[in-house]
Amino acid sequence: MAVRIYTGSEIEKIQQAGEIAYRAHMHLVPLLKEGTTTMQLDKVANDFIQSQGATAAFLGFNGYPAHICTSVNDVVVHGIPGNDVVLKNGDIIGIDIGVKYADYYSDTAWTWPIGEVSDANRKLIEYTQKSLFQGIKAAVAGNRVGAIGAAVQDVAERNGFSVVRSLVGHGVGKSIHEEPQVPNFGRKKDGVLLKNGMVLAIEPMINAGSYDVTTDRDQWTVRTRDRKCSAHFEHTIAITSAGPKICTLPEKSETNVFIILKGK
């Protein structure tokens, strides 16, 4: 499948979907505390998304059974919300939200600390988010997709972490998953040539230990093989003549915003 090029007006619609996804994340923040179940997060997120006239994009996608993904501690991605998964002090949770609005999609993930977390997990969260922003800086026309992965990999590995190899970012816009694939590792000169109008979901998945992962019997939940913690951040970005535009942050946000660690 060819890589889709989006017009300026289409990117504005993706931005609208992206801002709803961003606000859905922020709507969950008061619930990110000990005693909350991941099913509660799923319900509150879906109620908010619907209140905005939008749809949770993940429900039913390839058979996925929930509205959002909630990945706790050693779960890398695709954790299924449940009443039996109760947040505890010291946990970290990656929340992945996709939104469909006016026939366009956005996709964004954040990892949050629950209560007082270890210094090691705080560092994991911090550098996973930093690796995302370095990847975004490399998402400019004329570079290749490998430049994004190389930037992410550099930040992660220089700080003692590993980059998941078997899962990648992707294009997004008219569908939740489109071409091209966007690995979080690689060489600058490899991969598809980046062009203005491309829209990408860049999503580092960074592990505290080995990059090897396993999948649970539910065929969705991906965990670190060594059961050490993992963090996940994702933004939907558009490549424009003015540089990368983050569609899943409010229009007036600074690019280098580290909201996660403020006041936590």
**Quick one: average pLDDT of 32-40?**
98
**Quick one: average pLDDT of 17-24?**
98
User: Residue 34 pLDDT > 60, yes or no?
Assistant: yes
Residue corresponding to tokens 């499948």: 1
pLDDT for position 143: 98
Query: Which band of pLDDT confidence, cut at 50, 70 and 90, is reported for residue 251?
Result: confident
Look at residue 233 and tell me if it is in a domain: yes
Q: Encoding tokens for residue 25?
A: 């994340």
Residue corresponding to tokens 């039913």: 60
pLDDT, the chain, mean:
95
Contact 16, 102 (CB under 8 A): yes
Look at residue 207 and tell me if it is in a domain: yes
User: Residue 254 pLDDT > 60, yes or no?
Assistant: no
**Quick one: average pLDDT of 252-256?**
52
CATH number reported for the structural domain that contains residue 230 in this entry: 3.90.230.10
Domain count, the chain: 1
- Indicate the pTM of the whole model: 0.95
Beta sheet of 169-171, edge-to-edge order? 178-182, 169-171, 199-202, 235-240, 243-246
**Quick one: average pLDDT of 233-257?**
85
List the domain range (segments joined by +) for residue 63. Answer: 8-246
pLDDT for position 1: 65
- Residues 6 or more apart from 122 whose CB is under 8 A from it? 113, 261
Look at residue 25 and tell me if it is in a domain: yes
User: Residue 234 pLDDT > 70, yes or no?
Assistant: yes
Give the phi and the psi of residue 226 in degrees, each rounded to 5.
-85, 0
Burial 134-149 (b: 16+ CB within 10 A, else e): bbbbbbbeebbbbbbb
The model's pLDDT over 96-139, given as tens digits with 9 standing for 90+, comes to 999 999 999 999 999 999 999 999 999 999 999 999 999 999 99
Give the phi and the psi of residue 36 in degrees, each rounded to 5.
-75, 140
Look at residue 260 and tell me if it is in a domain: no
What whole-number percentage of the chain has pLDDT above 70? 95
| Separation between Cα atoms, residue 112 and residue 87, nearest integer Å | 11
Contact 122, 159 (CB under 8 A): no
Query: Which band of pLDDT confidence, cut at 50, 70 and 90, is reported for residue 171?
Result: very high
Look at residue 161 and tell me if it is in a domain: yes
Look at residue 257 and tell me if it is in a domain: no
Look at residue 263 and tell me if it is in a domain: no
**Quick one: average pLDDT of 194-211?**
98
Look at residue 252 and tell me if it is in a domain: no
The model's pLDDT over 58-98, given as tens digits with 9 standing for 90+, comes to 999 999 999 999 999 999 999 999 999 999 999 999 999 99
